[in-house]
Chains A and B, each alone.
Chain A
Amino acid sequence: MTAAAGRTGAALADAAGEAKAGWRGVHTALLCLFAFACAVPWIAPGWVHVEELAAWLYLALSATGLVATVGLAGLPSLAQGAFMTIGALTTGLLAARAGWPVEATVPVAVLASLVGGLVAGLAVVRLDSLFIAVGTWILAWLVFLGAQAFPGISGGAQGYVVDSSLSTTGHYELALALTALAVVAVATLRRSATGIRLRAVRDRPAAAAGLGVRGDRLLLGTFVASAAVGGLAGSLAVQLAGVTDPGAFGPVVSFKLLAAVLLGGASYAVSGIAGVAVLGAIALLARLWSHLQAGSAAEVEPMFAAVLLLVVLALRPEGAPLLERLRARVVPAVRPEPARAGRPAAAPAVLSARGLVKHYGGVRALDGFDLDVGRGETVALVGANGSGKTTALRALAGALPLDAGEIELDGRSVDGHGPAELASAGVIRTLQRTATFGTLTALESAVVGASLHARHSGAFRALASTPKSRAEARELRAAALEALRTVRLDSFADVPAARLDGFQQRRLMLAGALAARPRLLLLDEPSAGAARAEVDGLLEILSSIRAGGVSLLVVEHDQRLVRALADRVVVMADGKVVPG
């Protein structure tokens, strides 16, 4: 007991030390702002309606949940209002019809929204952005129309009366606290290994998959979590409103929430709050306009929001640049610790492929392809364009379902294994085209690979900032920096990948793969587009990797690099190995 208390105390002291070390002026300013916001109900002048502020804060809470889906995962969801509706109606039904205490309805409302998010997420997260937007927009309308069509669920025109045990001020303080917590959670998630992998999937799904990231699971988990936050906001907002109303969080609110997130810059933890603050200002303007024009604010407010959103999107599709500039100014670059010698090198892999066949319609891209890569061996795969080299590499990495043939890794069949499973087994592939994660820094890009074997960096542990997750985060960053050092990009650790030149980006891809501790590295034309001097540099890098005991299978056109690097050269033609 005493030992456990001692360990807990040490962990807390460690966490406090880390927080202190990372504390900046901007954090003090945010804390002061939060304290001021807490005091608003007592110090605000009479014309400030605390109830309206609380309602806006619940919207901000929902928007902050949406930041994870839109900003981090890159899913343009227009269904957040629908999840708020589900949460609100669940609370209304249970409180007004079943007689539950309103407080007890909140977890059920969150669960209902979570289930709704899971069902919707399973249907949409695999789709392209456009179809995600359309699909979630349809969902928003379905929930809205469904609530209207069944007055037994929504309470009809008069709604169900929901009596809250909290005062208006209580709701305000609760909404403020939850929104602040949500912001901290999103900020923590964003910096965590899970958040970095999520952003990698958003930027380059195929490249992330090559580094073993299970994109679908991450996207679905994020979508569901956002839905749950929406449900929480809806459940509490309906308690504040005092009545269920199917139109309260209809499609227009879904649109406004997405607009808020985009207006706020999309990928920052405070994007939701910032965007909702902009929408609040628009609402005030609309009210002023309606007073001047004797019209209705409800008619012009969505129009103002839409116009502003269009302007922002036209100027910068990723969102408002202001926050990015501010962040660059006030948040210093992350300096990871040097690598520790704690990560044991994995044994190189032995690969064997027999009779691989892959048809594309009438074209036989692979036609009985056989290949062996020995332990620690470097094999170069060469051949004319269209001979099937990249197809073979994709098949060996599990990225392509085969029509026939068998692949063994270390003597065990890996048939049916996808890229994530093979990556976990140590088979890492880099893509032929340059595919870096544009919005991630070089260090974060390498962390995507390093986190392949993370054990304590899941979303929940990261959100709780457990001692193990913090320790592992340090290790991952150290390993990522080591990989950058290997490819000579360590001085660019804090530079966004999109700002690196073409050859640096190719090396960054290699760093991501190296950070994943590969046993067999499948490289698809690593020197593509490189100048002669750059190829020399690449050769040195690849030689050092080979010297580290990693098996290499390299598809390459540069004969000089092939001769200097390969232990064995395999020639392909018409989808098979040319004998001899």
Chain B
Amino acid sequence: MLKAAVAGAVLVVLLAGCGSSEKSSQPRELVIAVDAPFSSDSYLGTTIENGVRLGSRDTLLTVGGDDYRIRVVRYDNAHSASRAVADVRRAVAQHAAAIVSDGTGIDAAWKIADRAHIPIAIVFDGGTGLVDPAKRPNVFRIAPTDHGVAFRFAEYLIPKKLKVAFLTDDTGYGREGRAALDHAFSQNASSVAARVQVPSTATDLAPQILQARRSGATALLVWGQPSTIAEALIAARSSGWNVPVFAPPSAEDPLLRQELAGHPEWLDGLVFASGRMTAEEGPAPFMAFQSAYEQRFGAQQVGVRSAAGRPVVQPPDYAMYPYDFTHLLVAAIQSAKSTEPAKVLAALNEVSVEGANGDSRGFNRINHEGVVDDDVYFARFQGMTYRPVQDDALSATLPVIPQER
């Protein structure tokens, strides 16, 4: 009886030993958590998620003899700081390799991720102070900064001798934009005719537009949510004021064009600033990226038609940034030869990759910004599509990305 028991135990140990020496056929998972406002800004949330998914597509990492596949887990922060913090906690609990965020709640969330040495990549919010390699070593950003956009506006508008009225909404995006504009225009205060804050929930901005008009403004710079920009255009154009209107990257959101679908002519002439899609080497890399994106997720239909009557699609430029960060993360893991968070975080400061638009993307220990301030271009809407303006040195050199199907 005793002999049989000992023999059984030995057999179990041997079998277990055999099992452990055999390499698992299933690759392990590396989680990238996407924390974005899926419920409150579906376009932005989905674009960020798709960028990460495309970047991690078919990626099979071999590190330390183990195979890894990337799994994308999405969290909805609904633009709420407390939800974003809770999401980051859950991502940390899931041992995520990285967190890709629109930027909501980063002030409170970065520490939680930092304690676990998990990098956070901001891919939309350009707010000043969010990124600081000395104080927040785990926070990176690949997106145009508010500072960069605001200074490019100052550089573009002041020589035109325009008297600009700032119309900013009361969202975090609008408030941060207002602060950046105040800073950028502080040396040329006479260029600013008025500073008007509008409620983001307002459906009629006629009083605020009238206030701006009476201030003697010869241009409007509307920094806010897409709906705020739409309401400002509606109020200005319907009152017969054909003032030039300028806007930040949020003007690219299809929502703006959908809200103005009934009056496409009111959108004509709107100039917005954004990170440039194409690099010095031309549009080919971005076109290849766009093609891959559309093959995987379909074209981003705006839901309106161009002047020629053809459906308009939105180029996936905001998907470039999470896509590039995902590639950087993979490169960092390969460089570190480890999935250990602290090593991966350190390696992120050392690697670089070719981005979706052909630019080189990378960070270092003193710079965690993936888009330089000068990389902001201007585009003008015409017939529900946009093309780079010709009266700006950088923008004039950029090709037109087709937006009709």
Q: Which residues of A contact B (CB under 8 A)?
A: 49, 51-52, 55, 148-149, 151, 155-159, 161-162, 168, 238, 241-245, 247-248, 296-299
Contact = CB atoms under 8 A, between A and B. Distances in A.
Contacts of B83: 245, 248, 298
Interface string B79-111: 111110110011001000000000011111101
Contacts of A238: 82
B90 A243 contact: no
Given A149-B170, A157-B175, A161-B107, A49 B93 contact: yes
B39 A158 contact: no
A243 B105 contact: yes
B80 A296 contact: no
Interface centre among A55, A148, A242, A297 (most CB of B within 10 A): A242
Nearest to A55: B86
25 contacts: A49-B93, A51-B89, A55-B86, A156-B172, A157-B104, A157-B172, A157-B175, A157-B176, A158-B106, A158-B107, A159-B82, A161-B111, A238-B82, A241-B82, A242-B85, A243-B82, A243-B85, A243-B107, A243-B108, A244-B81, A247-B80, A296-B38, A296-B39, A296-B78, A299-B39
B106 to A, nearest CB: 7
A55 B89 CA distance: 13
The main secondary structure of chain B at its interface with chain A is: helix
Contact of B86 (A52, A149, A244, A296): A52
B185 interface: no
Interface string B163-182: 00000001111011000000
Given A296-B39, A298-B78, A242 B172 contact: no
A247 B171 CA distance: 12
B29 interface: no
B81 A157 contact: yes
A279 B361 CA distance: 45
Nearest to A238: B82
Contacts of A157: 79, 81, 104, 171-173, 175-176
A248 B86 CA distance: 12
B108 A248 contact: no
Contacts of B104: 157
A299 B40 CA distance: 9
A227 B111 CA distance: 32
Nearest to A248: B82
A297 B76 contact: yes
B108 A242 contact: yes
B107 A245 contact: no
A147 to B, nearest CB: 11
Contacts of A242: 82, 85, 108-109, 112
Nearest to B107: A158
A81 to B, nearest CB: 13
Given A297-B76, A298-B76, A51 B81 contact: no
A161 B108 contact: yes
Nearest to B46: A294
B176 A241 contact: no
B264 interface: no
B81 A243 contact: yes
Contacts of A156: 172, 175
Interface centre among B78, B108, B111 (most CB of A within 10 A): B108
Interface centre among A49, A149, A162, A247 (most CB of B within 10 A): A247
B127 interface: yes
A159 B86 contact: no
B85 A241 contact: yes
A472 to B, nearest CB: 46
Contacts of B82: 159, 238, 241-245, 247-248
B111 to A, nearest CB: 8
A234 B130 CA distance: 26
Contacts of B112: 242
6 cross-chain pairs, A with B, having the tightest CB-CB distances, nearest first? A157-B172, A243-B108, A296-B39, A245-B82, A159-B81, A158-B107
A238 B108 CA distance: 12
Contacts of B85: 241-243
Contacts of A248: 80, 82-83
A301 to B, nearest CB: 10
A536 to B, nearest CB: 69
A49 B76 CA distance: 17
